[in-house]
């Protein structure tokens, strides 16, 4: 397993991160513990979760993933695990979380971390992330900024100051963002510098062969400001495994949870998936090996977040992240990228 420093932090994370959004719904707690054991056995020291998990989000599944992890974590050497979680934000009708009061203010941030720490059965998290922006932004399959949807939001300085308190108290080691835009990343960095507050060290955004929007603005910010990308959905909700090409009704997140399909229902998604699958097979690879090998090889990706519902899938995904893609194959990927440019932003 390869490791890298996460942005400007002192966190040395495995280049593969275990995602846990299936824990508690698609995976039982026993399944989750087996996945965690296998991940650690392969050298993975980085685990990502969220108070909202498992998915699909509802009152019954809220906090289950953190609870599963907490029951496992209490039997581990805590200092050997890099643990990341997220606070849910406003704008998504999650009324069962803090009675729907989800603004990123001091009161809510403190309530959220207390809940997460209790479920995780630990005194601190290594990385605490804002799951999506408090303000109006296009996220989760939306791709155009609409000024007409403007709403009040907590000033970023106020949010960062509340997070700074958690860092000072030792409850949080570092802070990060998720589903964030170039403006948001730069404004958080600006406020940190201006007021002596913690710098964000990472951004967890979608990145895959179907969505390379990180490269259009955020890649330069990440490079110049030393902010790492935590790439989620590298298989595009399983589409890039190729399993839906043979059977559009194959069991998986896209067929089980229709509400998550918005990002992947756009016009050029299926042609792009088929083209990448053909390219992979023509080069002696599985579609998943091509997709995961590509994401894991990008120099701006600090860690690739993988998720699985079976141990077999988990082992295959870990191995696929280590696949080396030659220059000729990378050029062919670029040619397809120009033909099907970001069909699933």
d(CA 65, CA 28): 10
User: 302: helix, coil or strand?
Assistant: strand
Judge contact between 228 and 201, C-beta under 8 A.
Answer: yes
Question: Which residues form the catalytic set?
Answer: 53
Q: What is the CA angle 182-177-221, rounded to 5?
A: 35
- Tokens 């967890």 belong to residue: 204
What letter would DSSP give residue 14? E
Residues 6+ apart with CB under 8 A from 284: none
Residue 333 sits at φ, ψ, to 5 deg, of -60, -40
CB atoms < 10 A from the CB of 340, how many?
19
User: Residue 261 class from Cβ within 10 Å (0-12 exposed, 13-18 middle, 19+ buried)?
Assistant: middle
- Tokens 């990927």 belong to residue: 333
d(CA 135, CA 149): 10
User: Residue 115 class from Cβ within 10 Å (0-12 exposed, 13-18 middle, 19+ buried)?
Assistant: middle
What letter would DSSP give residue 171? S
- Tokens 């059977």 belong to residue: 247
Estimate the share of the chain in helix, then strand, then coil, as percent rounded to the nearest 5: 45, 15, 40
d(CA 79, CA 83): 10
d(CA 230, CA 324): 20
């Amino acid at each position: 397993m390869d490791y890298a420093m996460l942005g400007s932090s002192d966190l040395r994370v495995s280049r593969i991160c275990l995602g846990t959004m299936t824990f508690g719904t698609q995976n039982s707690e026993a399944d989750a513990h087996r996945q965690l054991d296998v991940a650690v056995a392969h050298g993975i020291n980085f685990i990502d979760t969220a108070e909202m998990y498992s998915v699909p989000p509802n009152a019954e599944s809220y906090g289950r993933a953190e609870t599963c992890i907490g029951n496992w974590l209490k039997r581990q050497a805590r200092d050997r695990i890099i643990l990341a979680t997220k606070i849910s934000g406003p704008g998504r009708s999650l009324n069962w979380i803090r009675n729907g009061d989800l603004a990123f203010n001091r009161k809510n941030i403190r309530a959220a971390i207390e809940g997460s720490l209790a479920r995780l059965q630990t005194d601190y998290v290594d990385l605490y992330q804002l799951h999506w922006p408090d303000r109006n932004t296009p996220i989760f399959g939306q791709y155009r900024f609409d000024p007409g949807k403007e709403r009040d939001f907590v000033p970023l300085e106020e949010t960062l100051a509340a997070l700074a308190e958690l860092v000072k108290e030792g409850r949080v080691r570092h802070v990060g963002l998720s589903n964030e835009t170039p403006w948001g990343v730069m404004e958080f960095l600006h406020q940190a510098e201006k007021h002596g507050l913690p710098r964000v060290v990472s951004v967890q955004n979608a990145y895959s062969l179907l969505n390379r929007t990180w490269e259009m603005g955020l890649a330069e910010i990440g490079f110049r400001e030393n902010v790492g990308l935590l790439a989620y959905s590298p298989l595009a909700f399983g589409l890039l495994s190729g399993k839906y090409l043979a059977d559009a009704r194959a069991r998986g997140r896209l067929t089980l949870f229709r509400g998550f399909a918005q990002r992947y229902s756009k016009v050029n998604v299926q042609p792009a998936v088929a083209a990448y699958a053909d390219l992979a097979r023509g080069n002696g690879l599985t579609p998943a090996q091509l997709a995961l090998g590509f994401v894991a090889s990008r120099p701006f990706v600090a860690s690739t977040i993988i998720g699985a519902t079976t141990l077999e899938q988990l082992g295959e995904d870990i191995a696929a992240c280590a696949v080396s893609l030659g220059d000729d194959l990378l050029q062919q990927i670029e040619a397809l990228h120009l033909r099907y440019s970001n069909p699933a932003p």
